[in-house]
Amino acid sequence: MYNAKAVIIGIVIFVAIFSSPFWTSWIGQTYQKTGVVLPAGEKTCIEETEFMRAQHMRLLDEWRDQALREENRVYVSALDGRKWVISLQNTCLKCHSNYTEFCEKCHVANSVYPYCWTCHIIPTEGKR
């Protein structure tokens, strides 16, 4: 094969350039706090804090399916066995009513733009 060294060098350069967005995203990245203001007075959410941080969208999707497709409107918490009404507006937003200090701050910091507000009304500031 003619110019085997040049072809191999070209392939290595191509792979390095093509994969650079993946490996450069790890260099110098540190976790930054989002500055989310947690609701005052509430000791627990429906589940543990770490679970809610990592899995709240999956939980909300499951709630949507259970409430609308299976007509199940009761959620039993794995944290303490308490029963909660499956409702974004009437359960979650009772405590997390400050949209700009809670939802929006975290979603913007993480570059996530959920579709919740296409159906639900964005909460106004303060308690309901």
Residue ranges of domains in the chain: 49-118
Please state whether the predicted TM-score (pTM) of the whole model is above 0.85. Answer: no
Look at residues 44, 41, 38, 43 and name the one whose alpha carbon lies nearest to residue 96: 38
Look at residues 127, 78, 77 and name the one whose alpha carbon lies nearest to residue 101: 127
Mean pLDDT in residue range 25-37: 71
User: Does residue 128 carry a pLDDT above 60?
Assistant: no
Neighbours of 75 (CB within 10 A): 20
At position 15, the amino acid (one-letter code) is: V
Q: What is the rounded CA–CA span in Å between residue 92 and residue 85?
A: 10
At position 5, the amino acid (one-letter code) is: K
Mean pLDDT of the chain: 84
Span 55-88, pLDDT tens digits: 999 999 999 999 999 999 999 999 889 999 999 8
pLDDT value of position 95: 85
Where residue 31 falls among pLDDT bands split at 50, 70, 90?
low
